[in-house]
């Protein structure tokens, strides 16, 4: 079933279908604090965070949202204790392997953005396989930002463009927003309409710097593992009350 064909009977009545964001992005923050509050090690927060993401993906699908992008690991997250980094890499790999069949069945198209070459080889293999197997799926487009950094993304785009100029394939005056965007990791994916950040921090933390030029931001104090349908509903209600002006009056 494509997103359009899905019966949207689950959509809460106070949400207007025509005003839903097409693309929602999430900075899934607060796993560590969630675990600490329960007296658990930080890694248990990451485990609980996976369940919250699975629920959100399903909810987006049920409510007819066409694209979901989740920030799973930043280029700065390598600075965390080695055991936490190792746990996360293993968790990503395991979850991907476990969930692939269901994503195929549900017609999800999964994609990864970031510097994927620096990830463990076994995770890279799982990533390639999942993208390959879901490439032509007509359902929700699910993008996972892994070893992603907005600044790094912009720099690698500049390098690729500079090389084309050096080879005479592109003239400097031909570089415009479209050309630039086509060299970003997110090439072909529309900019997010709504970015949600959990756990109260009011910053982008190097996420989608270019793409968020006109995206709406919604910040909630709720910690990521507690972010559920009710919270998402609240975020969408807030979004629908916004007036997006894009510089116009």
Write out 8-43 in H/E/C secondary structure: CCCCCCCCCHHHCCCEEEEECCCHHHHHHHCCCCHH
Selecting among 10, 51, 55, 77, the annotated active-site residue is 77
Nearest to 61 by CA among 12, 19, 2, 101: 2
Residue 113 C-beta: closest distance to ligand IPE, Å:
12
Does residue 203 bind ligand IPE (CB under 6 A)? yes
Residue 51 bears catalytic tag: no
CA gap 107, 33 in Å, rounded: 34
Residue 249 C-beta: closest distance to ligand IPE, Å:
34
Give the tokens for residue 71. Answer: 């920030």
Does residue 6 bind ligand IPE (CB under 6 A)? no
Residues comprising the chain, all counted: 249
Interface characters, 88-127, with ligand IPE (x: CB under 6 A) = x---------------------------------------
Residue 77 bears catalytic tag: yes
Interface characters, 144-183, with ligand IPE (x: CB under 6 A) = ----------------------------------------
- Contact of 149 with 74, CB cutoff 8 Å: yes
Q: Which residues are catalytic?
A: 29, 77
For Mg ion, the binding residues (CB under 5 A) are 29
């Amino acid at each position: 079933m494509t997103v359009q064909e899905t019966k949207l009977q689950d959509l809460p009545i106070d949400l207007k279908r025509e005003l839903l964001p097409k693309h929602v992005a999430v900075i899934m923050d607060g796993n560590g604090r969630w675990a600490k509050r329960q007296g658990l090690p930080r890694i248990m927060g990451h485990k609980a965070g996976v369940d919250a993401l699975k629920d959100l993906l399903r909810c987006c699908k049920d409510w007819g949202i066409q694209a979901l992008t989740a920030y799973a690991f930043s280029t700065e997250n390598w600075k965390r204790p080695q055991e936490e980094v190792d746990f996360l890499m293993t968790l990503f790999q395991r979850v991907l392997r476990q969930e692939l069949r269901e994503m195929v069945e549900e017609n999800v198209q999964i994609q990864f953005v970031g510097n994927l070459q620096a990830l463990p080889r076994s995770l890279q293999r799982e990533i390639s396989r999942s993208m390959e197997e879901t490439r032509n799926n007509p359902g929700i487009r699910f993008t996972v930002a892994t070893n992603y950094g907005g600044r790094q993304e912009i720099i690698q785009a500049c390098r690729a463009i500079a090389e084309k100029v050096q080879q005479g394939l592109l003239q400097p005056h031909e570089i415009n927003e479209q050309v630039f965007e086509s060299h970003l990791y997110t090439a072909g994916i529309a900019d997010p309409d709504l970015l949600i950040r959990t756990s109260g921090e009011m910053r982008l933390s190097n996420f989608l710097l270019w793409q968020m030029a006109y995206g709406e931001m919604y910040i909630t104090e709720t910690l990521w593992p507690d972010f559920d349908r009710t919270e998402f509903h609240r975020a969408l209600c807030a979004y629908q009350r916004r007036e997006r002006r894009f510089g116009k009056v």
